[in-house]
């Protein structure tokens, strides 16, 4: 059972730093109603857990075996992330912080998938870190550890949704505009860095 708590601790430390999933979840929680934010949290959690499980149980071996697959992930992922960042910079959010009428669950589902499974950094870091833990753990200990990691994902993303929808009214109306700009710049820089990594890997 100790490895379960270790898994929770590792999971929280792994997903807590600001990344694409967190930026998307924060933006959604501030712009949508609580029921919508919770459903989106479910989407993000599902894809985060599925990626964690794939990383823990062996996707890393595929990346080691097939170098072209790693290059493909870097190229496609960096392009998707650059498009997302550009879209955020062009977007004009509602400064009233009222729930958006343009919200679509289908689009949120696709974005939740993209920030996890089309995010090269998440895939590469996940396979490296979780793969290393998988090698060091045996039997039931490995199972409890990965269950802990999945639990951390649930606690984190649903925690963001609940906390920010509760605090939303305390933010100034212009906050979401500034958040969009910051997120857009961060994501563009992130995408450019991944594109540089792709060019270096090819060279």
Structure tokens at 139: 């039997």
* 124 pLDDT more than 90: no
Q: In the chain, where are the structural domains located?
A: 2-68+88-177
Q: Note the pLDDT tens digit of each residue in 3-12.
A: 899 889 888 8
Could you tell me if 191 and 81 are in contact, meaning their C-beta atoms sit under 8 angstroms apart? yes
User: Tokens 């594109």, residue?
Assistant: 195
Q: In whole angstroms, give the CA distance from residue 9 to residue 29.
A: 24
Output the pLDDT for position 46. 97
> What is the pLDDT of the chain when averaged over all its residues?
81
Give the ranges where 32-136 is alpha helix by DSSP (H). 34-56, 59-65, 67-90, 105-117, 120-136
Nearest Cα to Cα of residue 160 among 32, 68, 57, 67: 32
Output the pLDDT for position 186. 76
Q: Note the pLDDT tens digit of each residue in 53-112.
A: 988 887 766 766 777 877 887 788 788 778 877 877 776 655 555 555 678 899 999 999
* 41 pLDDT more than 80: yes
* Three-state DSSP class for residue 101: coil
């Amino acid at each position: 059972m100790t490895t379960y708590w270790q898994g929770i601790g590792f999971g929280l430390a792994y997903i807590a730093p600001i990344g694409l999933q967190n930026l998307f979840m924060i933006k959604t929680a501030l712009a949508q109603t609580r029921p919508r934010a919770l459903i989106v949290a479910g989407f993000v959690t599902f894809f985060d857990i599925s990626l964690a499980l794939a990383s823990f149980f062996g996707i890393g071996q595929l990346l080691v075996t097939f170098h072209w697959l790693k290059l493909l992930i870097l190229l496609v992922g960096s392009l998707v992330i650059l498009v997302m960042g550009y879209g955020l910079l062009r977007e004009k959010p509602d400064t009233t912080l009222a729930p958006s009428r343009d919200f679509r669950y289908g689009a949120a589902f696709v974005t939740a998938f993209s920030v996890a499974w089309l995010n090269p950094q998440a895939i590469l870091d996940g396979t490296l870190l979780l793969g290393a833990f998988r090698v060091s753990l045996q039997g039931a200990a490995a199972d409890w550890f990965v269950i802990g990691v999945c639990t951390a994902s649930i606690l984190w993303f649903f925690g963001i949704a609940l906390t920010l929808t509760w605090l939303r009214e305390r933010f100034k109306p212009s906050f979401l505009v500034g958040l969009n700009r910051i997120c857009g710049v961060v994501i563009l820089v992130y995408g450019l860095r991944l594109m540089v990594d792709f060019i270096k890997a090819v060279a």
